[in-house]
Amino acid sequence: MLDIRDVSKRYPNDVLALAGFGLTVAPGEFLVIVGGSGCGKSTLLRLIAGLDRPTTGTIALDGTPVIEPRPEIGMVFQEPRLMPWLSIDRNTAFGIRHLPLAEQRVRVSEALARVGLASHAGHWPRELSGGQAQRVALARALVARPKVLLLDEPFSALDALTRNDLEEHLLELWAFDRPTMVLVTHDIEEALFLADRIVVMRPSPGRIVAELVPTLPRPRDRAGPDFHAWKYRVLVELDQAVRRPTGEEAFPAAAI
C-alpha cells in the first residue's frame, strides 16, 4: 500500500506546491489525479518516485518510507526520454542492467512483444513515432516489474487517436500483473476511461478537493451516456476546485 501522509512541498523559490496532502492507494488500484496546470500533481509524482523530498510529511510504500528512488517504483514521463544512442531493445533493458544477460533478453523481448514492438527491437529511437516511443517507455518501466507505476501525463503529447489507443493498451498492461497505478492527467476523459478512483486537485497550494469513484463497468465506452454523465460530474468538481474561495495560506506573498 502506498501511504502519503500530510505531505507538503515548498520549493526554494518559496512556492508552496503542495500542502497538507494525504492519500492512500491500495495495491493494484488504478488511481488517476486530475487538476489544472500548476496544481502540484507533477510535484506529487516526483515525491512518490523519490526524485524530490517532501518539505514535511511522509510517503511510505508497504511501510517503508520513500526517500530516494526505489526499484519497486517505476516512472513514465510525459516525454519518452529514451536514450537516443541505444537501440530499442537496449533502451528497454536500461532499468534491469543488474540481471543476468539471458534474463534481460527474455524480459525485454516479452515486454516489447507486450507493447506490440517486437519487430522494432533493433531500431533507433529516432525511427519511432511519438506513440511508439512512449510504448517503449512503458516497456522500459514495466520490464523491471514495479509494484507501483507512476505516469506523469504520459499521453498528453500524442494525437487523440494514438492517445485512445495507448489508454486501452495501458489497461491491458495493468491487467497483466496489476501494479498499483498512479496517473496524472488534465484530461477528464482519460481519467474516466482508466481510473478506479479519481482524485481532483486544486492549485495554490496543491491539495485534494474531491474524490470520485466512477461506477462504470469495464471496458468503458467513451460514447456511452453514463460516461458522459460522469464526465460532467468530474468537470463540475474541477470547475468548483478552481473557483472555491481560497484559504489564507493559498497565496503566500512571495509566490506571486
Partner 1 sequence: MNGAAATAAAVGSASSRVPARRPAGFRFGTSALIGLILPLGLALGWELAVALHWSDGRLLPPPSLIIATLFELLRTGDLIGHVLATLQRVALGFLFGVVAGTTLGAVSGYWALARRLIDPTLQALRNIPSIAWVPMFILWFGIFETSKVILIAVGVFFPIYLALSGAILSVDRKLVEVGRVFRFSHREMITRILLPATLPTYVVALRAGLGLGWMFVVAAEFMGAEQGLGFLLIDGQQTGRPAVILASITAFAVLGKLTDWLLATGTARFLRWEDGFKPVE
Q: Does 79 bind partner 1 (CB under 8 A)?
A: yes
What distance in Å separates the CA atoms of residue 174 and residue 184, rounded to the nearest whole number? 16
| Amino acid in position 244 | R
Site string for partner 1, 167-206 (x = CB under 8 A): ----------------------------------------
CB atoms within 10 A of CB 8: 20
- Least distance in angstroms from the C-beta of 88 to partner 1: 9
Q: Does 66 bind partner 1 (CB under 8 A)?
A: no
Which C-beta is closer to partner 1: that of 93 or that of 191? 93
- CA dihedral sign, ordered 158, 76, 7, 212: positive
- Least distance in angstroms from the C-beta of 180 to partner 1: 16
Q: Kindly list the strands in the beta sheet with 16-25, ordered across the sheet, starting from the edge strand earlier in the chain.
A: 16-25, 2-10, 56-61, 64-65
Which C-beta is closer to partner 1: that of 74 or that of 203? 74
What distance in Å separates the CA atoms of residue 126 and residue 85, rounded to the nearest whole number? 9
What distance in Å separates the CA atoms of residue 59 and residue 66, rounded to the nearest whole number? 6
- Least distance in angstroms from the C-beta of 49 to partner 1: 6
Residue from the set 5, 36, 60, 105 that interacts with partner 1 by CB under 8 A: 105
Q: Does 87 bind partner 1 (CB under 8 A)?
A: yes
The CA distances from residue 7 to 22, 23, 24, 53, in Å, are 6, 9, 12, 10
Q: Segment 107-146, which members bind partner 1 (CB under 8 A)?
A: 121-127, 144
Using CB under 8 A, list all residues that contact partner 1.
49, 51, 68-71, 74-75, 77, 79, 81, 83-87, 89-90, 93-95, 97, 101, 104-105, 121-127, 144
